[in-house]
Amino acid sequence: MGVLRKWQGLTLLAFAFLVSNVFADQVTLKNGDHLTGTIVKGDGKSIVLHTDAAGDVTLPFSSIQEIKTDQQLHIGLKNGKTVVGPVTSSDGKLEVATKNAGTVEAPEADITVIRNDAEETAWEKAQHPGLLHGWTGGANVGFSVARGNSETENLALAFNAVHTSANDKWTLYATSIDTTNNLATPSTVANLETGGLRYDHNLNARAFVFASVDYMANALQYLDLRSIYSGGFGAHVLKNANTTLDVFGGVNYTHETYSNGAPLPGTPFFVSYGITNRFVALTIGDQLTQQLGKSTVLNETATFFPDLQQTGQYRAIVNIGTVTKLNKVLGWQNQFNDIYDSNPPIGTKTNDVIFTTGLNLTFAR
């Protein structure tokens, strides 16, 4: 009985080994090595094979002699078509056993992407996420206190989120900088809030339309609230693995209210007691994202608002920031902002230049 049980155990072990290999993808390298696992993804230059022993292994096509899969793969081609089915390789091309079109040959030079079913499902979901899903972004906080010859507190907060799909993009942002000096009169050193929402919709691979609303309040310029409603067209000038650059232009309607100083005693906060301006202006700018090394991303936006009703007057905003990832959640952020107004209220300066630094907390939903 003991010998029989031993043989039964060995038989089951051998059967399990055979089954695992029968239903695994097989890759034979030119040096004679044989690898088994699951092909996860790839392109025309390499594939990623998930193995039990070594995890994900990237294999250049130039090192591969033969591929054979039992699972179906989704093979994207340069002509825009996608073929689906189990794959074998032969003479520098993949042969895909499709259900409806029979065997389709895909030369390696024509392949743009390779995905298994799980990767294809994840990719499709990422292309068309619901509005409540697919958001990525971060929030950062900077705080400082000084005591002694000065009594100052500084708090800088920022939030940004981006929702991207195959054809459109939503961008949401908000910032707040509040600095006070309790030994000075007036005590407010800086008090600036900005926020906005933007929607981009692709017309084709190069062109898009956009609509946005931006808000700003700046205590040192006595700006209670500026609202800018913009719309126009843009172009995707550059897009690759490390760099994206968009340029855009359009028109906007601006509504702004200045308090001209402290409110009158007893004046309700919702009553305009200063100067209100309403005018039409242009919106011209660019957005740049640049990967710097493995862990740092540079973001730059520059927007120019020339007044169409009072020529010669304009505003400009330049934002430059970097985020360096410390781990999956935390990063270190540096932000430079230059806000220029060619016609500020009397007694105030044309430029507000702000630099903030602090921790960044990233998120994805």
- Domains (range + CATH), the chain: 2-127 (no CATH), 135-364 (2.40.160.40)
Give the span between the Cα atoms of 234 and 207, in whole angstroms.
6
Give the span between the Cα atoms of 1 and 231, in whole angstroms.
83
The answer to whether the predicted template modeling score (pTM) of the entire model surpasses 0.75 is: no
- Please name every residue paired with 190 in a beta bridge, in sequence order, or none if there are none: 179
Which of 59, 60, 61 has its CA nearest to residue 35? 59
- Here the tokens at position 104 are 């389709």
- In sign, the C-alpha dihedral spanning 20, 21, 27, 33 is positive
Element holding 147 (H helix, E strand): none
140 burial level (CB within 10 Å; 0-12, 13-18, 19+): buried
User: Amino acid letter at 303?
Assistant: T
Which of 137, 179, 136, 140 has its CA nearest to residue 158? 140
Give the per-residue pLDDT at 43: 82
Give the per-residue pLDDT at 212: 96
Strands 152-164 and 73-77: unpaired
Give the per-residue pLDDT at 17: 43
Give the per-residue pLDDT at 138: 83
CB neighbourhood size of 311 (10 A)? 8
CA distances 188 to 4, 102, 318, 336, Å, are 88, 74, 24, 20
- Here the tokens at position 336 are 């430079």
Which of 37, 65, 70, 61 has its CA nearest to residue 111? 61
| Residue positions counted in the chain | 365
Is residue 205 helix, strand or coil? coil
Give the span between the Cα atoms of 25 and 89, in whole angstroms.
12
CA distances 16 to 5, 19, 239, Å, are 16, 5, 48
CB neighbourhood size of 108 (10 A)? 15
Residue with tokens 């957005």: 287
Give the per-residue pLDDT at 260: 61
Peptide bond connecting 344 to the previous residue in cis, omega within 30 degrees of 0: no
CB neighbourhood size of 80 (10 A)? 7
Residue with tokens 């995707």: 236
For the chain, 365 residues long, the average pLDDT of each consecutive 10-residue run is 50 45 76 88 86 85 87 88 87 84 85 87 70 75 71 80 85 86 66 91 93 90 90 93 92 88 52 76 94 88 93 91 86 86 80 81 73
Give the span between the Cα atoms of 125 and 228, in whole angstroms.
34
